[in-house]
Structure 1
């Protein structure tokens, strides 16, 4: 079981960052994030998330024009911004990922509603796991949903079954520029034990 300090690192003290220190994130750190989070669960081990880690100035400029006005500058200044995509052909890999059910592909093939729901739900989970892994490895995160999905899909996922789910910047946040902590719902407002 994690101690309170570790839990605070992942949850209570973790914040959404919008302003970044001029400090790089290495390719090795990015690989560590993926290696840590890839083991977390998804339904039928579907693993539909596909991650594009945008670091280069050229690719970052392509991403910035896809972002809403309020997210453009923070994307520009972040060392890395990850596009978390969802592969709508994820079921093609189930023979590898879910080998104890050789017919798992048939659960999805031709059922677009099930494909889309499964890809969205599980790529969202995997994006959250990525955030937890990044935090555990000492990085800050800035998840965003303000972007033009059609532009991102055309720019980064053209001729592919992958579609964007959300975007998240990674790096070392400037704690002095954080907004005040927003409140959360109390247990009784959000939960029932029945």
Structure 2
């Protein structure tokens, strides 16, 4: 039993340490997000895996669990076809073209960073001038697919999901820190 406990922690160790080492990247992302929220922008979230992670992120921003924190505008895009004749690879790009405004942010979530529909969504968002954020995983990140690429350094899908949850909780919390700091200061 103690071997299984040790293995459970060991699987998360490298990914946790890598996340802690990405502090400057996370801080830059949060500053950019705070700037966009201040200008009236909203967070548009989408991803592979049926969209449950995207919906979770949007809910976190829209319904703060900490009393006194303001709700920040966020929506999760549907993974459904929505009558899109352009094909499945264009599902998020199509929605971004219809929902996005220039001060918005687009967050694409893909465990490996190779999901075509997420990549196309991020590309379209960049073309429209949105601030783009990619949450990916693995040891071989997909390159600079977004303005900010936040990587869960693990090959274990469960660990990647756990690190992604930590990342978007940090993004929410620190975006508020920057928004509140500017208001006071």
TM-score normalised to structure 2 length:
0.26
The higher relative CO (CA closer than 8 Å, separation ≥ 6) is in 1
Higher helix share: 2
Q: Which is higher, the Rg of structure 1 or of structure 2?
A: 1
